[in-house]
Amino acid sequence: MSNSARLWKACLAIGPACVLILAVSIVFRATAADIADRVAADWPLFRGNVVASGVATAELPKVLDLAWKFTVKNGAFEGTPAIVGGRVYLGDMDGKLYALDLTTGKPVWERTSTAGFMASPACKDGRIYLGDIDGKFHCFDMITGEPRWSFETNGEIDSSANFHRDRVLVGSQDATLYCLNADDGKLIWKFAIEDQIRCSPTVVEDRAFVAGCDGKLHIIDLEKGTELQSVPIESPTGVTPACLGDRVFFGTEAGKFFAIDWREAQVRWTYLPEQGAPQAFRSSPAVTPEFVVFGGRNKRVVALDTRSGELKWEFTARHRVDSSPVVAGDRVYVGCGDGRILGINLRTGEQEFKFEAGGGFSGSAAVANGRLVIANDRGVIFCFGGEGEK
């Protein structure tokens, strides 16, 4: 007899009250577990989580089929969707923010702004946070799309927001990282560097990491809004650092890839492709305990050993790869400049999935609840799923 069966038998012997208590307890546990699973499966930020790992917690079917697509006539998307609570959120270059049903792709609501969106939405506590190309940072209600508040910066916002406690962080091309109260948008502190901020801030513990166009990695105290240390990286970058343990990983416009120990503020290793002239890395990496994976303008998707920087494999695409890869299970999914969506085996570098979407991809995939969602520069959002063997 199982432990649960013994418990039920004992409760029945005691009386109905015990049975009721046990039933409520089981329902509560199941409900709590369901809620935890749903939260874990969401994709609320540009790179999936506050540490920008680019690794999905939700599984995908081995056989991916196109579930739906949503087309904006004469539209263009450059951001990465957010997926929260069974909805897909994404803004387009014409200034519309869309909420779509994840299962069907049908619009739930849309909200028109005065300027276009290049940044990716970030979602938390029933709100959507998104900056536009005029430098205004918006907060919308997630359920209705109604505006909650806005905050003016002095430059275009490419950066996706991130969160620390009850605060929201966003970078601007005015070379400033802003820390705002998430409820009302009031400024708490701001931190300026010497050139534009195009990356999203990565958050670990009480620190934020900003890889800037001033050729430095900035390590910022999130309580005080002051710099703790900076590390020279030799050239500008707009890549969002991915963090694993005490290291952050990112590439630069000079075509050099860095692994930096953020506790010691020291470069641990670098990678520079051996073949051809260096070309920019604009793809933010995905990092696991074994592999760090990213794309390049040299038409390569590269996987390095996370610890040593040793080249593990290299996949040659037909066009530049600015889109940031996402690791889901044993595959890496990435969009290419020629409109192909690729699924590559994480261990071998062999192609296992391909879809000819057309257009090109600079935005990246989001993965949640057994679905992969990605949008291209021709105004189409694609959603893949299927009942294939997992």
Higher pLDDT, 372 or 25: 372
Q: What is the mean pLDDT of residues 87-109?
A: 97
From 214, 300, 290, select the one nearest 252 (Cα to Cα): 214
In the prediction, which pLDDT does 387 show?
Answer: 61
Burial 146-184 (b: 16+ CB within 10 A, else e): eebbebebebbbbbbbbbbeebbbbbbbbbbbbbbebee
**Can you list the domains of the chain with their CATH numbers?**
42-385 (2.130.10.10)
The model's pTM is 0.88
Q: How far apart are CA 286 and CA 254, in angstroms?
A: 20
Mean pLDDT for all residues in the chain: 90
Tens digit of each residue's pLDDT (9 = 90 or more) over 289-309: 999 999 999 999 999 999 999
Evaluate if residue 390 carries a pLDDT over 70.
Answer: no
CB atoms within 10 A of CB 351: 15
